[in-house]
Structure 1
């Protein structure tokens, strides 16, 4: 395997603006012919199989795009810091490329900000594109990073993300475009995604734009907009999802939600309909200053099933609605099984059908003397699955 001393681009313009790349306006020097990337600066296109090493302190100073046909492997324990205050700093994986970011519980892979005082929105995030179906079409351009996605390959494989932390994401490009922590555009079900943490994000935590990828153990903490989001005909399964807004995290859009599920805002009947299944989910609001618009807003043709969900709020923290299936661009249809609620989580707003009932309980979580929160086993998500990421929260009584 060859060794790359650096991976960087030399822009012909003095400044790259926005988040799309234009290969005709840039060159890569030295040639990117694959191998271990040992130079610390990351910017540009990866066109051959390459690896990031845990022993190198990487800083991403601009967009990095894994091009079709190439695989980027990231060693367990690698930390990639992103140059803060930019809208053009992100990692993108093209349709036909792969990202193998396979960390471990003891050595996760971390994407973070380089700022001395990091904050939500310091950099973009992770953007992956694949060949799985979308009800937007076969060749659709992603809303960020300018990637094409979509196709007919439900079992497409874009690699693996395991034991990955992405924090301080969500750079805002303009009024309509901003990065999520991790965006999956048309990703197929042979892609492995498990044990993911997105924290301190300035837009959505994790969002699926069509595709069939399944996700296990995903934790979204302190997300300005929606914790878990899908649109465009997403048909995968999400298992063990924990979302929390902590006390003191006040970054928020006008309508932050725990779950936002769409199918197609232009045509709620467009195929494939979004029909995801979610198993073992907790949506928790601890912040009395920021109300969640809804625990689960299921709309625009989405047909979803959620098994074992816990809607929870502590103290004076609240939701506007618990479940909302009413929307002027198309109602949603939700089946809930083994659904529980505790605290001020609002009422349900039914436009499309809400099948199943939510049981009000008082012992789903407790706050012992040390002011930490403890959860009753079997109610919603299993928080212990995220012990590896040292995620915890303390409340003020």
Structure 2
């Protein structure tokens, strides 16, 4: 039996050194082995040459920060980067042809958070990466946030590495309409390494894929106002060991929050490549009786998905409206389940496109004790022990 504490992840209480930096203070280094550093603690503007952020310096993003094509930004394990709260232009973007090497460790994760005294969802934008992998929107498409071009024909395109990353209080709105996700992958290729990722307290989606082929392992989305895991535009990667939870007390929600939302192309469901992702070992959990998830998974608009070993669960009086929904006015979806489990009030399926596979009703896939400790049955859905590194308030008990 695996158990874990579902207390909210909290921002680290770390002071900010209020000195500034600019391009002329950046030490230029060789692309093949970045060893230089950005001088100062304020980050804004364009990074045009290989640069490094050090764990010994406490950084603040004070404006849009973009890694330009041909440059690599390396971030040391244990680095904390705070974002100036209350503005819509605070984000980290990585252009097509640039790289982000952010390799934390279990003992020293890299944390992106808000600088607010009382942080909340939507305090800043998020992390945006663009690549050259295929999308059914074209080969030179502009991202809906950060204004990056993405798309191409390079399935194994390499945008760097993200390992042991926590991104929290993301999802700032742009002009009152478009919103940042916690982490957005626009046409990112499978040469990019992504594993051990946490997105917490997000005002839009947790993680979203816009086309591309990137694979992700061990991803946890906690307290997400809209969709925990989202894809569109011909995404065809593999997501392995994914856990999404809405905690009791997290009441911020869009009109239709879901565990999983999968689209291919709402304008043309035949556009290629079709979104055809594979998801392995997934748990979608609602613990909040006041906010129902619209669906455990909404697979629509031409998507053809395979989801293996999945648990859709609620606890107490929390609920889903639908367990699975494949019907949509802009095109139905198709999903095939193997080893599928349902627990609690997860609703009925809304069938438009095919839903293949049978769900087993389970009563002990998830249990919750009075102190908010979640127990997950071994082998059912996500392995929660993969996330025991995430925070002192997020603890797995073997």
CA-CA distance at 1:176 after TM superposition: 3.4
1:65 corresponds in structure 2 to 66
1:316 corresponds in structure 2 to 317
How far apart, in 1, do the equivalents of 2:126 and 2:393 lie?
23
CA contact (8 A) 2:196 2:217 kept: yes
CA contact (8 A) 2:25 2:39 kept: no
How far apart, in 2, do the equivalents of 1:344 and 1:160 lie?
38
CA-CA distance at 1:368 after TM superposition: 3.6
How far apart, in 1, do the equivalents of 2:87 and 2:356 lie?
44
How far apart, in 2, do the equivalents of 1:377 and 1:365 lie?
10
How far apart, in 2, do the equivalents of 1:233 and 1:32 lie?
39
2:332 corresponds in structure 1 to 331
Alignment map for 1:257-296 (pairs within 5 Å): 257-296=258-297
CA-CA distance at 1:6 after TM superposition: 5.3
1:341 corresponds in structure 2 to 342
Q: 2:169 matched to 1:162? A: no
Q: 2:234 matched to 1:233? A: yes
Q: Which has the higher contact order (CA 8 A, sep 6+)?
A: 2
Q: 1:392 to 1:378 in 2, by over 3 A?
A: farther
CA-CA distance at 1:7 after TM superposition: 3.7
2:366 corresponds in structure 1 to 365
Q: Which runs of 5+ in 1 are unaligned?
A: 9-27
Deviation string for 1:322-361 (max 9, x for gaps)? Answer: 0000000000000000000101000001100000011111
How far apart, in 1, do the equivalents of 2:193 and 2:220 lie?
16
CA contact (8 A) 1:246 1:393 kept: no
Q: SS at the partner of 2:385?
A: helix
Alignment map for 1:1-397 (pairs within 5 Å): 7-8=21-22, 33=28, 35-368=36-369, 370-390=371-391
Deviation string for 1:144-167 (max 9, x for gaps)? Answer: 000000000000000000000000
Q: 1:229 to 1:392 in 2, by over 3 A?
A: farther
CA-CA distance at 1:370 after TM superposition: 3.9
Q: SS at the partner of 1:207?
A: strand
CA contact (8 A) 2:26 2:38 kept: no
Q: 1:29 to 1:347 in 2, by over 3 A?
A: same
Indicate the RMSD between aligned Cα atoms, in angstroms: 1.5
How far apart, in 1, do the equivalents of 2:390 and 2:89 lie?
27
CA-CA distance at 1:393 after TM superposition: 7.2
CA contact (8 A) 1:228 1:260 kept: yes
How far apart, in 1, do the equivalents of 2:337 and 2:328 lie?
19
CA contact (8 A) 1:373 1:393 kept: no
- Which range moves more in the overlay, 364-373 or 217-226? 364-373
- Which range moves more in the overlay, 381-390 or 369-378? 369-378
Q: 1:175 to 1:371 in 2, by over 3 A?
A: closer
Q: SS at the partner of 1:37?
A: coil
How far apart, in 2, do the equivalents of 1:64 and 1:122 lie?
16
CA-CA distance at 1:104 after TM superposition: 0.2
CA contact (8 A) 1:325 1:352 kept: yes
